[in-house]
Structure 1
Amino acid sequence: MTDSATRDCAVRIEATLDEVFATAGRIRDGVRTLWRDAVGTVSAHDLEPLQQAIFAELDSHPHYTGAGFLAEPTTLADVDRYLEWWQSDGSGGHSRLVLDLEPTSPDGYDYVEMEWYVGAKAGRPSVRGPYLDYAGADRFILTFATPVVVDDVFVGASGVDVLMAAFDPMLFEHVRRGAAELALVDRDDRVIVSNSPDVAPSERLRIRTAEPLPVGGVGVGWRLFALR
């Protein structure tokens, strides 16, 4: 049976995840408003006012390294694929993430194939990582994404990149307060954070003594294991 301290830990972790998804949700709501306010078809130009909302989110959350919106192919009138994604330099500055979005290009960034985008298109908030983001920040990050649906049509995903170096202490504080040795793992059984000296982040979890507690829902797929 799972003790109450472990259950409380799972609840606290979910609350931390929910805060990031709330940011993605505010960006989503901004996209919806601009989309509905557009005259006729929607173009990339119509989404430019979204930048200020993205800047505000980045400035309010120092552990965010990037945030924005990615359009579903063919939904915009003037471009096939579109990325309104901005990064923070950590000192109040912002830079647009510029990538080759041509999927047939050797260096193309095919975001529609990314796990977090696929999850969002399936209608659920999703997380990928931690992983090394070569295409963007070149640091270990988590990518959070949520679907953007306008008038029952999926038009893309809004999301947030969270710097793992800053997010990890938040997660560790939750597991540190557990009465048992705990390990939080992703859907691939890789450890995200643990308070056990025998379990290291990024390794596959092999020590299990009880059924895990699910954390974050289907799109997240994290589980919290009590090891002893």
Structure 2
Amino acid sequence: MTTGTGTATRAAATIVEEYFSSPIRTLLGWVGPFAAQVAEAKSSGPLTSSRIDALVEPHALRTLGLRDAPVYGAGFIAAIDLPSDARNHLAWWQGEDRRQLVLAAQSLNKENIDYSALEWYRLPMETGEPHIAGPYVDYLCSDEYTITVAAPAEVDGVRIGVAGLDMLVAEVERDLLPRFAALGREVTLINGIGRVVVSTDPRCATGDAVRSGRWAELPRFACADVALTVIVEPDPTDP
């Protein structure tokens, strides 16, 4: 199918919006009830890391079972000093075996990382809104190019951390590129700072910057409710 550039651009944006809507809805569906569980747990005693894990696990495992998005990892990243026994805490499950990630067993540096500096944590905590971060190489969890979807959790108006899920870029490519290709144009999906997430254009690679040069003149369309934009290569035969 070949469509006009404007129509193809809007269609590509719709593909992206629909694709990421399920992961976002999934997080928003459990982050509120989870926050209520945290509030109840704090009222009955110290909120230790192990108690946080017990509350997060069923939500994370359900998120890993999401059928219409390739979720690689899911869980909760606690705000600084939320746990009574640690400065911060990552309650996270990932992989085909859905095992809990134990950072202390991997690296002391990973265990002590300051999550507050990372985009997928910082922006939801600052804005109170869901956010899609990436692509980036996730040295913390998967060691692969990753997209993270995150949503803040609140108790009595105070943000206590973020619920999140990871999607490997390789899996997102397998899902999105055939849908883009069906539009009959080269389609490139970029993030909020102008870097390529995925693209049907063989001249583009994940992570490339597209803020200048020929890219500046190409039609683009901001996707609703996600901080992503599509760029569509025009057909030279278009009027």
TM-score, structure 1 normalization: 0.83
Which shows bigger deviation, 155-164 or 31-40? 31-40
Establish whether residue 57 from structure 1 lines up as the match of residue 63 from structure 2.
Answer: yes
Structure 2's unaligned 5+ residue stretches are: 235-239
What CA distance in whole angstroms lies between the structure 2 residues aligned with 1:94 and 1:43?
24
| Per-residue Cα deviation, 1:58-100 (whole angstroms, up to 9, x for no partner) | 1344722211011111233343312211112x1xx22222235
Residue of structure 1 in register with 2:120 after alignment: 116
Establish whether residue 224 from structure 1 lines up as the match of residue 227 from structure 2.
Answer: no
Change (3 A) 1:157 1:68: same
Establish whether residue 214 from structure 1 lines up as the match of residue 219 from structure 2.
Answer: no
Contact 1:6 / 1:179 at 8 angstroms: preserved in 2?
no
Change (3 A) 1:126 1:83: same
TM-score, structure 2 normalization: 0.80
Runs of 4+ residues deviating >4 angstroms: none
Q: CA RMSD of the aligned region, Å? A: 2.5
Contact 2:130 / 2:150 at 8 angstroms: preserved in 1?
yes
What CA distance in whole angstroms lies between the structure 2 residues aligned with 1:202 and 1:111?
22
Structure 1's unaligned 5+ residue stretches are: none
What CA distance in whole angstroms lies between the structure 2 residues aligned with 1:136 and 1:165?
15
What CA distance in whole angstroms lies between the structure 1 residues aligned with 2:55 and 2:193?
38
Establish whether residue 72 from structure 1 lines up as the match of residue 75 from structure 2.
Answer: no
| Per-residue Cα deviation, 1:160-179 (whole angstroms, up to 9, x for no partner) | 01122111122213322324
Contact 1:27 / 1:69 at 8 angstroms: preserved in 2?
no
Number of paired residues? 219
Residue of structure 2 in register with 1:13 after alignment: 16
Contact 2:9 / 2:219 at 8 angstroms: preserved in 1?
no
Query: Where do 1:73-152 residues align within 5 Å?
Result: 73-88=80-95, 90=96, 93-99=97-103, 108-122=112-126, 123-152=128-157
What CA distance in whole angstroms lies between the structure 1 residues aligned with 2:24 and 2:165?
8
Change (3 A) 1:163 1:197: closer
What CA distance in whole angstroms lies between the structure 1 residues aligned with 2:26 and 2:46?
23
Q: CA deviation at 1:10?
A: 0.1
One-letter amino acid of the structure 2 residue matched with residue 119 of structure 1: L
